Amino acid sequence: MRRILPYPVLTASLVIVWMLLNAFSLGHFLLGLVVAVGASRAMMQLEPSKPRLRRWQLIPWLCGIVLLDIARSNIAVATIILRGDRQARRAGFVSIPLDLRDRTGLAVLACIVTSTPGTAWVEYDSASGVLLIHVLDLVDEQEWVDLIKTRYEATLREIFE
Amino acid sequence: MSHAENLPAWAALLVAFLVLAGAGLTLIGAIGTLRFRSFFERVHAPTLGTSWGTGAIVVASMILFSVLGSRPVLHEVLIGVFISVTTPVTLMLLARAALYRDRSEGSSDVPPDHLADKPDER
């Protein structure tokens, strides 16, 4: 099983992508399956380390809170832009010591931090595990450290580590 | 859009609201890019367009074509997924380049490089 399907999650996602782009029918399922199995076996040559999903049940929950947080910060940043410079606002850098070491987990965290308006991933140092982000509306640094660490990092560690 | 008259009112209102919201967010993001003063502030503005700016238009498109075709049309989800997966790549490249520039200029606005004295660890 492991030899035929080295990346079951990747294979399943590729089949779903194939059927979304074409049609949900038996023919496209089989065709997509052939493409997906071929592609995931090619992937084996490229990526020797395989991400482990320990608790995939948490993924929908994480997606939900991330979409909600992004919507909230969309409104916050839109308000800042429309309000202009009339109100004092301080932008600044926050460094966050991360315990998350899994590369896939860090990649997902980068997507979350970047997709959220108001926070931007600036630099990550893999030796010390310190992440530098830029925050548009910085009120309390510790608040941002707690937000990233408890809201996202803890969940990502549960999923990937 | 020749079949738009077949669209029920609730769907038309919802789609119109979502398209306007998405386009509005993207416009505000563009205004923000113009308005902010420094690079690191400016980098936040376009993410309005790449997050719910895209998201709202994608959802509107899914609703419109699902209602018109009376079957679920979901492939727009992939647009949203690919945009949110690829945005960090360009943003991180730009941010690191700007950080490098500001640090080599000796600017006090950016935090110092704590690895500057031991470059081997990079």
Q: Quick check: is A107 in a domain?
A: yes
Residue A69: closest CA among A112, A122, A105: A112
For B75-114, how does the pLDDT look when each residue is reduced to its tens digit (9 = 90+)? 888 888 888 888 888 888 988 898 888 888 887 777 777 6
Gyration radius from chain A CA atoms: 20
Which stretches of chain A sit within 8 Å of chain B by CB?
A: 17, 20-21, 67, 70-71, 74, 77-78, 80-82, 84, 91, 93, 95, 107, 110-111, 113-123, 125, 127-128, 130, 132, 134, 136
Q: Which chain A residue's Cα is nearest to B33?
A: A81
Domains identified in chain A, total number: 2
pLDDT above 50: residue B34: yes
Task: Give residue A11's pLDDT.
Answer: 85
Q: Quick check: is A53 in a domain?
A: no
A40 and A82 belong to one structural domain = no
The CA distances from residue B28 to A119, A136, B20, in Å, are 17, 15, 12
Q: Which helix (H) or strand (E) holds A131?
A: strand A130-135
Task: Give residue B117's pLDDT.
Answer: 47
pLDDT above 70: residue B42: yes
Spatial separation of the C-alpha atoms in residues B6 and B67, rounded to whole Å:
9
A25 and A62 belong to one structural domain = no
Q: For residue B121, give the nearest of A71, A127, A132 by CB distance.
A: A127
Q: Which chain A residue's Cα is nearest to B99?
A: A122
Task: Give residue A47's pLDDT.
Answer: 66
Range of the domain at A39: 8-46
A107 and A151 belong to one structural domain = yes
Q: Which residues of chain A have pLDDT under 70?
A: 1-4, 47-50, 85-87
Task: Give residue B115's pLDDT.
Answer: 53
